[in-house]
């Protein structure tokens, strides 16, 4: 069954100088329940725009998005968000951040407390519940963000460069955690990243997007996310299949960048 | 001794903002045993390296005081024009312990002044914050209040006094309302910029977690704006205090401003001098109180 239907999605931003940007044009795809899709592409190809439309923060200028059959018209709890950084509430402690959703929905406090403790345990932060957000490292903060999102039990989790601000080592660990959570919860996930390696490793589906107008340039179905659950991630990332795909996508994006530069050069 | 002061000050200035606890401790350690202080080679232009020196500051203060005292003892100045510390202390004691000067004790003057600014400042915060929040949240509120705020904000509060006296007479009301104006505009601007400073991703996250508009206002926008609101309160309190003393020069029986003004007409310059010192000290005290409150109530300030 497919959770998410994106149909002929288009988004044109009007700029103040009477020009406009086609951030997305005619984007259509279906995403089945329980899959993890990664979005990759050069800066400005509309990844954030697409995520924001699916989340319901932006309304598209063409096309529709539906989740589980009902059309998206605004933000909703069945679509959770994980942002790059700084979207936690620094005036609340870790526990209060994680329990934010249930508390806003008037859930039973005892149940919420149990759920929060369980989630903190899942993301490896048990014992950190009373800590202030600013006392945590960047990686720990993203663990809190994941737990906060899971607390509301969304169907679909949207992540915009969730690991983008982390150092390489922490990033690898967090990739493992995301796969683990995906496997354990069976959630549908869309994750935006700038790292080709990350997109290949985490995506059991991957879209390479292209700019002007923003569109899906190429699509892959990949085995690595499933394999990553059991195999050693370093070995997997160095396997010939992985390396081959990585080089292919790198040169694809490289060509796109060249083309963008060329076009800008002509325009100037 | 000097070295000890220097290194603690360095700590506060340069290392106080370590992002996580462990780092803070690690970075502190070399500073503790002063043998291994990290030596900066670039200090000119590095604000955190300019720490001053408490001993020199103390010396300056003591030196000035001694100069003042010596001038008095040697009769270098005319005590009517420039009273020395002994004369000033005598006057201080007199007003503190008797009401013989203007039928008012010192503490009554102080209380009269404090009461005025607490009222004016309090109402300024009470009305200014909601208006500022509304201006940051709604087009309508923004449209309505923008011209009012922009027009009246640059007006020095004292300029309202003549009109206020015509409308409300020379009593308490006109002074409190003037202080209200002084605080109100500052608080509106502070609250508005607090709202506008909310990171959109926080608001988006809250919506995705199922929060309603009211819940977002209470649980996201307000706490997020709190640091700026506090800064506004500190500034407003300072401005109110400064304006109040000026306002009390015009038609008030009680209050520190009134006290020094009356003292002037009777050539009691000792009262003027200690009045100035008391006004300064209370100003510092109020500011310190606000700082303490800030640390106590918004420990997350600047750490988003
Ligand atoms: N609010 C806006 N107003 C006008 N143009 C916008 C706006 N938001 C995005 N754009 C434009 O739309 C295009 C797509 O932007 P978007 O942020 O979706 O790209 P992205 O793929 O997320 O880029 P990045 O990898 O840098 O995050 C860009 O050309 C951008 O300049
Ligand atoms: Mg983006």
Beta-carbon contacts of B222 under 8 Å, excluding residues fewer than 6 positions away, are B133
Two structure tokens written together for A194: 């700038």
Q: What is the mean pLDDT of residues B222-235?
A: 94
3-state secondary structure of B184: helix
CATH class of A80-195: alpha beta
Contact predicate A145/A164, CB 8 Å: no
Test B303 with A91 for CB contact under 8 angstroms: no
Is B300 near chain A, with CB under 8 Å?
A: yes
* Nearest-by-Cβ selection for B209 from A74, A83, A100: A100
Q: What is the mean pLDDT of residues B186-214?
A: 94
pLDDT score at B49: 79
Q: What is the pLDDT of residues B249-276, one digit of tens each?
A: 877 889 999 999 999 888 888 999 999 9
Question: Is residue B14 scored above 50 in pLDDT?
Answer: no
Contact predicate A31/A188, CB 8 Å: yes
Q: What is the pLDDT of residues A103-147, one digit of tens each?
A: 999 989 999 999 999 999 999 998 898 999 999 999 999 999 999
Neighbours of A73 (CB within 10 A): 10
Question: Is residue B29 scored above 50 in pLDDT?
Answer: no
Q: What is the pLDDT of residues B159-188, one digit of tens each?
A: 998 899 899 888 888 999 999 999 999 999
Which chain B residues are Cβ-neighbours of A90 within 8 angstroms?
300, 303-304
State in Å: Cα A215 to ligand 1 middle: 13
Chain A nearest C-alpha distance from B270 (Å): 49
Q: Is A1 exposed, middle or buried (CB count within 10 Å of its CB: 0-12, 13-18, 19+)?
A: exposed
Report the chain B residue with the minimal C-alpha distance to residue A137: B20
Whole-number Å distance between alpha carbons of A52 and A60? 10
Which chain B residues are Cβ-neighbours of A136 within 8 angstroms?
20
Whole-number Å distance between alpha carbons of B114 and B110? 6
Question: Is residue B32 scored above 70 in pLDDT?
Answer: no
Whole-number Å distance between alpha carbons of A209 and A215? 5
Q: Work out the angle at residue B284's Cα, subtended by the Cα atoms of residues B102 and B115, and round it to the nearest 5 degrees.
A: 45
Q: What is the mean pLDDT of residues B97-126?
A: 92
Report the chain A residue with the minimal C-alpha distance to residue B303: A134
By most ligand atoms within 8 Å of CB, the mutation choice from A21, A53, A83 for ligand 1 is: A21
Return the domain boundaries, chain A.
Answer: 80-195
pLDDT score at B26: 37
Query: B13: which DSSP letter?
Result: I
Query: A93: which DSSP letter?
Result: B
Neighbours of B197 (CB within 10 A): 13
* Nearest-by-Cβ selection for B210 from A77, A87, A91: A77
Mean pLDDT of all residues belonging to chain B: 84
Least confidently predicted of A213-217, A219-223, B12-16, B38-42: B12-16
Question: Which residue, B108, B104, B113, is CA-closest to B242?
Answer: B113
Query: A128: which DSSP letter?
Result: -
Whole-number Å distance between alpha carbons of A13 and A22? 7
Neighbours of A147 (CB within 10 A): 25
- Could you give the percent of chain B with pLDDT greater than 90? 51
The bound ligand whose nearest atom lies closest to the alpha carbon of A57 is 1
Chain A nearest C-alpha distance from B13 (Å): 19
State in Å: Cα A18 to ligand 1 middle: 17
Beta-carbon contacts of B26 under 8 Å, excluding residues fewer than 6 positions away, are none
Cα A206 from chain centre: 12
State in Å: Cα A195 to ligand 2 middle: 13
The bound ligand whose nearest atom lies closest to the alpha carbon of A17 is 1
pLDDT score at B73: 87
By most ligand atoms within 8 Å of CB, the mutation choice from A9, A10, A40, A48 for ligand 1 is: A48
Which chain B residues are Cβ-neighbours of A148 within 8 angstroms?
205, 209
H or E stretch at B265: helix B256-265
């Amino acid at each position: 069954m497919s959770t998410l239907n994106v149909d002929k999605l288009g988004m044109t931003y009007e700029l103040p100088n009477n020009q406009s940007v086609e951030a997305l044009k005619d984007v259509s795809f279906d995403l089945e329940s329980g899959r993890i899709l990664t979005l990759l592409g050069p800066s400005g190809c509309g990844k954030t725009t697409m995520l924001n439309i699916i989340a319901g923060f932006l309304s598209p200028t063409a096309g529709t998005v539906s989740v589980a059959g009902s059309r998206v018209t605004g933000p909703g709890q069945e679509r959770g968000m994980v942002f790059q950084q700084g979207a936690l509430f620094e005036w609340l402690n870790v526990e209060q951040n994680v329990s934010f959703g249930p508390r806003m929905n008037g859930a039973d406090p005892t149940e919420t407390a149990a759920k929060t403790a369980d989630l903190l345990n899942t993301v490896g932060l048990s014992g950190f519940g009373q800590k202030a957000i600013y006392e945590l490292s960047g990686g720990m903060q993203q663990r809190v963000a994941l737990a906060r999102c899971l607390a509301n039990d969304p169907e679909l989790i949207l992540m915009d460069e969730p690991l983008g601000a982390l150092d390489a080592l922490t990033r690898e660990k967090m990739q493992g955690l995301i796969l683990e959570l995906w496997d354990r919860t069976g959630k549908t996930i869309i994750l935006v990243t700038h790292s080709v390696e990350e997109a290949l490793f985490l995506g059991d589906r991957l879209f390479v997007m292209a700019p002007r107008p923003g569109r899906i340039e190429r699509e892959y179905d990949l085995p690595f996310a499933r394999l990553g659950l059991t195999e050693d991630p370093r070995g997997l990332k160095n396997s010939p299949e992985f390396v081959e795909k990585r080089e292919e996508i790198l040169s694809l994006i490289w060509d796109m960048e060249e083309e963008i530069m060329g076009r800008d050069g002509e325009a100037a | 001794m000097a070295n000890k002061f220097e290194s603690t000050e360095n700590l506060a200035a340069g290392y106080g903002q370590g992002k996580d606890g462990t780092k803070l401790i690690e970075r502190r350690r070399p500073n503790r045993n002063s043998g291994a202080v990290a030596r900066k080679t670039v200090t000119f232009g590095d604000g955190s390296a300019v720490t001053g020196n408490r001993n020199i500051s103390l010396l300056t203060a003591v030196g000035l005081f001694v100069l003042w005292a010596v001038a008095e003892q040697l009769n270098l100045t005319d005590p009517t024009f420039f009273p020395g510390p002994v004369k000033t202390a005598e006057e201080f004691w007199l007003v503190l312990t008797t009401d013989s000067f203007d039928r008012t004790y010192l503490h009554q003057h102080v209380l009269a002044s404090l009461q005025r600014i607490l009222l004016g400042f309090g109402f300024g915060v009470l009305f200014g914050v909601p208006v500022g929040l509304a201006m940051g949240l709604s087009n309508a509120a923004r449209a309505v209040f923008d011209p009012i705020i922009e027009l009246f904000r640059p007006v020095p509060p004292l300029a309202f006094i003549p009109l206020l006296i015509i409308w409300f007479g020379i009593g308490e009301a006109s002074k409190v309302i003037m202080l209200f104006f002084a605080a109100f505009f500052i608080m509106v601007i502070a609250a508005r910029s607090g709202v506008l400073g909310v990171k959109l991703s926080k608001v988006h996250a809250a919506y995705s977690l199922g929060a309603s508009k009211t819940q977002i206002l209470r649980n996201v926008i307000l706490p997020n704006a709190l640091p700026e609101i506090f800064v506004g309160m500190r500034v407003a309190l300072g401005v109110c205090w400064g304006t109040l003393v000026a306002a009390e020069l015009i038609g008030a029986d009680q209050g520190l401003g009134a006290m020094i003004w009356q003292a002037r007409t009777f050539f009691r310059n000792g009262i003027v001098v200690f009045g100035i010192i008391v006004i300064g000290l209370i100003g510092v005290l109020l500011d310190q109180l606000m700082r303490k409150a800030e640390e106590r109530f918004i420990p997350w300030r600047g750490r988003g």
